[in-house]
Amino acid sequence: MLPEQFFAALAAKANARVAMGRDVINLGQGNPDLPTPAPIVQSLQRAAENPTYHKYPPFRGFPFLKEAVAKRYLEDYGVELDPEKEVAILFGGKTGLVEISQCLLNPGDVCLVPDPGYPDYWSGVAMAEAKMVYMPLQAANQFLPDYSKLDPESLQQAKLMFLNYPNNPTSAIATPAFYEETVAFAREHGIVVASDFAYGAIGFDGQRPVSYLETPGAKEVGVEFYTLSKTYNMAGWRVGFALGNHHVVEMLNLIQDHYYCSLFGGIQEAAAEALTGPQNSVAELLAVYERRRDALFGALDRIGWQADKPAGSFFCWLPVPQGYTSMSFANLVLEKADVVVAPGTGFGAGGEGYVRLGLLASEERLVEAAERIGRLNLF
Whether pLDDT at 378 is above 70: yes
Q: What is the pLDDT of residue 18?
A: 84
Whether pLDDT at 5 is above 70: no
> Using one digit for the tens of pLDDT, what is the confidence trace for 222-232?
999 999 999 99
Q: How far apart are CA 137 and CA 132, in angstroms?
A: 15
> Which pTM value belongs to this model?
0.95
Residue 184: burial class (beta carbons within 10 Å; 0-12, 13-18, 19+): middle
224-250 mean pLDDT: 97
Instruction: Judge contact between 258 and 218, C-beta under 8 A.
Output: no
Identify the three-state secondary structure at position 376.
coil
For the chain, what percent of residues have pLDDT higher than 90? 93
Strands 158-164 and 192-196: parallel
> Using one digit for the tens of pLDDT, what is the confidence trace for 330-360?
999 999 999 999 999 999 999 999 999 999 9
Q: What is the pLDDT of residue 275?
A: 98
Taken in order of first residue, the domains within the chain and their CATH numbers are: 6-30+281-374 (3.90.1150.10), 55-276 (3.40.640.10)
Q: How far apart are CA 336 and CA 375, in angstroms?
A: 10
Q: What is the pLDDT of residue 20?
A: 86
Instruction: Judge contact between 241 and 87, C-beta under 8 A.
Output: yes
Q: What is the pLDDT of residue 2?
A: 63
Strands 240-244 and 222-227: antiparallel
Whether pLDDT at 92 is above 80: yes
> Using one digit for the tens of pLDDT, what is the confidence trace for 117-158?
999 999 999 999 999 999 999 999 999 999 999 999 999 999
Residues ≥6 apart with Cβ < 8 Å to 49? none
Identify the three-state secondary structure at position 113.
strand
* 21 φψ region: left (φ > 0), alpha (ψ -120 to 50), beta (else): left
**Residue positions counted in the chain:** 379
Query: Taken in order 345, 143, 294, 210, is the CA torsion positive or negative?
Result: negative
DSSP H helical segments within 79-149, as ranges?
A: 93-104, 120-127
Residues ≥6 apart with Cβ < 8 Å to 18? 24
Identify the three-state secondary structure at position 111.
strand
Q: What is the pLDDT of residue 11?
A: 78
Whether pLDDT at 1 is above 90: no
The total of other beta-carbon atoms located within 10 Å of residue 262's CB is 20
Q: Which of 18-27, 75-84, 208-217, 274-283 has the lowest mean pLDDT?
A: 18-27
Q: How far apart are CA 243 and CA 156, in angstroms?
A: 26
The total of other beta-carbon atoms located within 10 Å of residue 291's CB is 13
Identify the three-state secondary structure at position 144.
coil
Whether pLDDT at 76 is above 80: yes
> Using one digit for the tens of pLDDT, what is the confidence trace for 10-56?
778 788 888 888 999 999 988 899 999 999 999 999 999 999 999 99
Whether pLDDT at 80 is above 90: yes
> Using one digit for the tens of pLDDT, what is the confidence trace for 261-309?
899 999 999 999 999 999 999 999 999 999 999 999 999 999 999 999 9
Strands 131-136 and 339-340: unpaired
DSSP state of 149: G
Identify the three-state secondary structure at position 115.
strand
